[in-house]
Amino acid sequence: MGIQVRKRLVEQAVSDSDVFKDESTLFPDFVPGELPHREREMMRLAKNFRSILKRDRPRSVHVAVIGDPGVGKTALVKRTMEDLVEVGRDRNVKLDFVYYNCHSMRTKASILRHVLTEKFGVQSRGFGEEEILEMIVKRCEKEDLRLVIGIDEANMLRAEDILSIIHANEVFGSGQSRISTVIISRTAEWRALLNAPLSGHILDQIDIDGYNKDELFDIFKYRAKLAFWEGVISDQILEMVAEISASTRNARHGIEIMLRAGRIADETGDREIKADFIREAKNRVYPELRPDVFYDLRSHELYASLAIARILSRPDTIETTIKDAYQEYQLVVEEMNQVARLQEKPASMATFRQYLSTLEKVGIISMAVKNLDQGRGRRAKITLYDIPAKIMRDRIEGLLKRNPNIR
């Protein structure tokens, strides 16, 4: 391809789109200004924090927000807490909200270290977890600050880790309570995490229901207005997207479909999203799987997922074993070493099992223990959760190709 032609193509690629007014408003981390049909839940969440806005003797609050995938838990908490911080500012009350997604920030220690460095500019090296927690509490007292820690995908932590953050006020505080938490989790995972001591500290558990078709239509209409130029997506097409997402009651489902359908229109040079684009996009969207889930994985976890995806994309293979997956994983590491000129060693079997447990927690694989025939014992069988193996393989390979030195 000549340089002139190439330049023209690149120019075209980066020039304004006829379809998207702002494509990034459909990306996973975008938090919209409004959340139609969640007003009640927003008010309920905010009300819980009344007591920390008191100027003297603030009382800390611990709330849980629970629900199925894509029902707006994360968006609800981020939007409400940001508004609450504003309200605090208006009232001259120092209130801060920090948000952590435990898919990327996976331990209590890493969260606390991050709070200490980011919020208070103190280096945490050399301090133990409890010391860091104490420093955070003392700093909050000194600066008259109320700190709310949002812990999303909380099932990645252990219940006792969450409890120790909740207890920090009593353990280290001088009669004041400064640290509050909002714990966010999917329903099934929350059940696994919840124990009696933890539930005793949760002031309010807000259960978020899925959306029905009419609600989804309103949400998509609003989101489409942010993302597309006028006339790109008709009400009829939005109805169709709402209908599809109503089967999962998941708002992310339709938002991802709109993004993909918009891209198809962009590529084909259409200025309108057609029903066919929606049908095509629909087949590539897996509503339970967060589209950014692979970005939160460490390199060897990605290799492990790729190994499993490769095995399961072979004909007639619906499940695999830890042993086979481990063997394939070693091959993947070898291959990555060659491709990206790395010198990585495969992890031990014990560490590999930890990777699998992480992949299970983030919802990529499912591991069921099966009894073998004729008393040959029990063995864990690995299957994929929501995504076809071939698609998963392509996505991870694409990701690794783009960032071969991912860590």
Ligand X SMILES: Nc1ncnc2c1ncn2[C@@H]1O[C@H](COP(=O)(O)OP(=O)(O)OP(=O)(O)O)[C@@H](O)[C@H]1O
Interacting residues with Mg ion (CB under 5 A): 74
Contacting residues toward ligand X, per CB under 6 A: 32, 35-38, 67, 69-75, 186, 219, 223, 251-252, 255, 290
Q: Which does 203 bind (CB under 5 to 8 A by kind): Mg ion, ligand X, none?
A: none
CB of 152 to Mg ion, least distance (A): 6
CB of 164 vs Mg ion, minimal distance in Å: 23
Provide, rounded to whole angstroms, the least separation between the CB of residue 69 and Mg ion.
Answer: 8
Which of 55, 75, 57 is closest to 65 using CA atoms?
75
Residue 123: CB minimum distance to ligand X, A: 32
Q: Which is nearer to ligand X, 72 or 262 (CB)?
A: 72
Number of residue whose CB is nearest ligand X: 72
Q: Are 182 and 151 in contact (CB under 8 A)?
A: yes
Q: Which is nearer to ligand X, 101 or 299 (CB)?
A: 101
> Quick one: what does residue 36 bind among ligand X, Mg ion, none, with the CB cut-off 5 to 8 Å set by partner type?
ligand X
Given Mg ion, ligand X, none, residue 251, with its beta carbon under 5 to 8 Å by kind, binds ligand X
- Cα–Cα distance measured from residue 254 to residue 244, given in angstroms and rounded to the nearest whole number: 7
For residues 160 and 204, which CB has a smaller minimum distance to ligand X in the complex? Answer: 204
In DSSP notation, 1-59 reads --HHHHHHHHHHHHSPPSSBS-GGGGSTT---S--TT-HHHHHHHHHHTGGGS-SSS--
C-beta of 74 vs 124, nearer to Mg ion: 74
Of ligand X, Mg ion, none, which one does residue 106 interact with (CB within 5 to 8 Å by kind)? none
Residue 313 and residue 305: Cα distance in Å, rounded? 12
What tokens does 126 get? Answer: 């050399």
What is the SS3 assignment for 302?
helix
Q: How far is the CB of 402 from ligand X (least distance, A)?
A: 23
Alpha-carbon gap, residue 351 to 303, rounded angstroms: 13
Q: Which partner from the list ligand X, Mg ion, none does 38 bind, CB cut-off 5 to 8 Å by kind?
A: ligand X
Task: Please state the closest distance from residue 144 (CB atom) to Mg ion, in A.
Answer: 31
Specify the residue, 152 or 328, whose C-beta has the smaller distance to ligand X.
152
- Could you tell me which of 153, 175, 178, 156 has the C-alpha nearest to residue 165? 178
The smaller minimum CB distance to Mg ion, of residues 264 and 285, is found at: 285
Dihedral pair phi/psi, residue 178, rounded to 5°: -115, -30
Residues with Cβ < 8 Å from 82, sequence gap 6 or more? Answer: 31, 97
